[in-house]
A = this chain, B = another copy of it.
Amino acid sequence: MLKISKLTDYATVILSFMAKNNQRVCAAMELATATGIALPTVSKILKALVNAKVLISTRGAKGGYLLAAAPDKITVATIISALEGPIAVTECSISQQGCEQAAGCNISGHWNVINRAIYNALESVTLADMIKPQETLIPIASLYRIENHNVSQ
């Protein structure tokens, strides 16, 4: 199904909340309450986002988390790779080792093309887009081919 993990999905919810409250430090506890996600899980996600430099943290009393950049500078690609590592459709596209498949694997170059395309798609949507009301979007769809979904599935 080629899906993102639950944690990544949560991350977008958390970050959307923070984007709406822009420039205010939020404690993990507050975010847990606001989103309905359990505190330990929220913490885990926030830690990952800090490591990926999507968030900045301050420790100690009155500490918490803050977006490291403006919402329109934080892309979905960034969020996904913060929680799941590099965006790559196959293992072999990450490690340049190539796979051990004996025969017929000269395909990796093609996966790279696909990866690039997907990466660009994910790079085209930002946190700022995500907190816009739904009507105002559909813009990037026009960047991509919409026609001929004709092969049966």
User: Knowing A36-B101, A102-B35 touch, does A89 contact B3 (C-beta < 8 A)?
Assistant: yes
Which among A39-47, A58-66, A117-125 touches the partner chain?
A117-125
The reply to whether A110 and B90 form a contact with Cβ atoms under 8 Å apart is no
Specify which chain B residues have a CB less than 8 angstroms from the CB of A69 in the assembled complex: 151
How many of chain A's residues touch chain B, expressed as a range?
35 or more
Interface residues of A in 42-88 (CB under 8 A from B): 52-53, 69, 73-78, 80-82, 84-88
Q: Are A105 and B13 neighbours in the complex by a CB distance under 8 Å?
A: yes
A118: chain B residues within 8 A (beta carbon): 2, 117-118, 121-122
How many angstroms from the CA of A119 to the CA of B141 in the assembled complex?
A: 11
Task: Evaluate contact between B143 and A84: CB separation under 8 angstroms.
Answer: no
A residues neighboring B (CB under 8 Å): 1-4, 9, 12-13, 16-17, 20, 34-37, 52-53, 69, 73-78, 80-82, 84-91, 94, 101-107, 109-110, 113-114, 116-125, 129-130, 133-134, 137-138, 140-141, 143-146, 148-149, 151-153
List the 8 closest A-B pairs by CB distance, nearest first: A117-B121, A36-B102, A109-B134, A120-B144, A1-B84, A81-B153, A110-B130, A78-B151
Additional A-B contacts beyond A13-B105, A110-B134 (19; CB < 8 A): A1-B84, A1-B85, A4-B90, A13-B101, A13-B104, A69-B151, A73-B151, A76-B114, A77-B153, A117-B121, A117-B140, A117-B143, A118-B121, A120-B144, A120-B146, A123-B145, A123-B148, A124-B145, A143-B145
